Amino acid sequence: MKTKKMLFALLIGISSLLIITSCEYEIIEPLKIVIPPGDSVSFSLKIIPIFTDKCVTCHGTGHFAVDLTEANAYTDLFAKNMIDTADAASSVLYVKLIEVGGTHEGRSTPSEQALILAWIEDGAKNN
């Protein structure tokens, strides 16, 4: 009887230990794209495909807020002050995409957001 009780206590001990140690968490660092020296993020090759894939269904010409079609995206983003090369991370385009709980949460992936930020930090060139 005594050994049964001890065994039971041991089992409880082990399982509570397992429960406690299983509560791990990891810290998710924001993605950061590092541009190699002499290289740059191409607007036409890297950014336009994101717009075409994820945005133009709503942001076509004459649709919501900003025109993100290949032909007009560059001009319209600047015309509507959505790019701030002096403070890239505060650009409307970027903030809109990363805002937690905002209307655009989940519309782009963290790596797409990081690419857009890197493009703006790189001077938002029309290349």
Q: Which residues of 90-101 are buried (b: 16+ CB within 10 A; e: fewer)?
A: ebebbebbbeee
Residue position matching structure tokens 């890197």: 118
Q: For residue 12, give the H/E element and its range.
A: helix 2-21
Residues in the chain: 127
Is residue 92 a contact point for ligand HEC (CB under 6 A)?
Answer: yes
Decide: is 46 part of the binding site for ligand HEC (CB under 6 A): no
Question: Of the two residues 16 and 81, which places its CB atom closer to ligand HEC in the complex?
Answer: 81
Q: Is 103 in the site for ligand HEC (CB under 6 A)?
A: yes
Q: Is 98 in the site for ligand HEC (CB under 6 A)?
A: no
Chain positions contacting ligand HEC, by CB under 6 A: 54-55, 57-59, 64-66, 82, 92-93, 96-97, 103-104, 107-108
